[in-house]
Structure 1
Amino acid sequence: MQNIDLICLGKLNAPYFAAGVAEYQKRLSAFCNFRIIELPEASLADKNASEAQIEKALQKEGKAILSNLRKGSYLAALCVEGKQFSSEELAALLAQRANSGAGDITFVIGSSHGLAPEVKQAAQAKLSMGRITMPHQLARLVLTEQIYRACTINAGMKYHK
């Protein structure tokens, strides 16, 4: 069974997002070994942090992200400059990874400041959820649902209409 990881910076603190993610996480257990790894956001002492402070925080987060990757896992980073994928394209990516013999894939959602350059450079794919801005908690719910949808597409189920 394929291992699919989702590394996220920060916790889900809104119960409605947590309930939605938990539902899709439960559904995904029929298709893959899905786990969510929550890492703490690097704290910034000042709301008006300088670029240097933000860069230092991103480097700290980047090290934590990269150290939590399964060995040999395909890394897909969610970032604004990434490619927009359709549900079918995401399904094809999951299927291609599963059929490659090295099927592990890790998606990563960064903090409110984005992702460290080191994480983006390590990523084999950069994905975008579109040109809109959304809270990271909502992005986690949407991505979890899309992973579930991709699995149902690959299984030939009627969930995807």
Structure 2
Amino acid sequence: MKIKLVTVGKLKEKYLKDGLAEYVKRIGRFAKVDIIELPDEKTPDKASQAEKQQILEKEGERILGKIQDREFVIALAIEGKNYSSEEFSQVLADTAIRGFSDLTFVIGGSLGLDERVKKRAQLLLSFGKMTLPHQLMRLVLVEQIYRAFMINQGSPYHK
């Protein structure tokens, strides 16, 4: 299986980079992981709704340019479906059973995701209604992907 993370914005904090690298290494025994960081658009203070929409569209174009037709896309969105770790592990297992070997996760920028990206996704995933920095979401997401693999393997890691 190949897992790709398409993210908007650059990860700067060393502790987040270190955590991400650790979980990517752990996932490596189950899947190849590729992380694509796309530039984010600068959002002016007090941006109008039209300016925000334009920013989302530009970021959306960049994201869609990194997604291939054969990929199963899971976009992180606050209005997405919440899963327990066990349910999420089953989603990943079911995706593989359905014949998808390329799994792409999308994390948008500070304004979220363009509607076209959400429509392209086969699944909208939410980690709850709380707002989290999108840089931190990368670490949370890769830990949960690793946890899902460990659950599916029957490992005690999940306990």
Partner of 1:82: 80
Partner of 1:18: 17
* SS, match of residue 159 in structure 1: helix
Residue type at the aligned position of 1:24: Y
Query: Could you list the runs of 5+ residues in structure 1 that have no partner in the other structure?
Result: none
Q: Among residues 61, 64, 67, which one is paired with 1:63 in the alignment?
A: 61
The alpha carbon displacement at 1:148 in A equals 0.5
4+ residue stretches of structure 1 with deviation over 6 A?
none
Residue type at the aligned position of 1:12: L
Residue type at the aligned position of 1:157: S
Contact conserved, 1:97 with 1:104, CA < 8 A, in 2? Answer: no
TM-score (norm 2): 0.96
What is the 5 A alignment of 1:23-102? 23-44=22-43, 46-102=44-100
Matched, 1:129 2:123: no
Aligned length: 159
CA deviations over 1:80-124 (Å, ceiling 9, x no partner): 111111111111111111122222111111000000010111111
Distance in 2, matches of 1:77 and 1:102, equals 16
Matched, 1:103 2:98: no
Residue type at the aligned position of 1:35: D
Residue type at the aligned position of 2:2: N
Q: Percentage identity across aligned positions?
A: 48
The alpha carbon displacement at 1:70 in A equals 3.0
Query: Could you list the runs of 5+ residues in structure 2 that have no partner in the other structure?
Result: none
Distance in 2, matches of 1:155 and 1:11, equals 32
Residue type at the aligned position of 2:67: L
TM-score (norm 1): 0.95
CA deviations over 1:22-67 (Å, ceiling 9, x no partner): 10001110000111111011223x2221111110110011111111
Q: Alignment RMSD, CA only? A: 1.0
Distance in 2, matches of 1:95 and 1:76, equals 14
Matched, 1:119 2:134: no
Residue type at the aligned position of 2:147: R
* SS, match of residue 157 in structure 2: coil
Distance in 1, matches of 2:14 and 2:85, equals 26
Distance in 2, matches of 1:140 and 1:81, equals 18
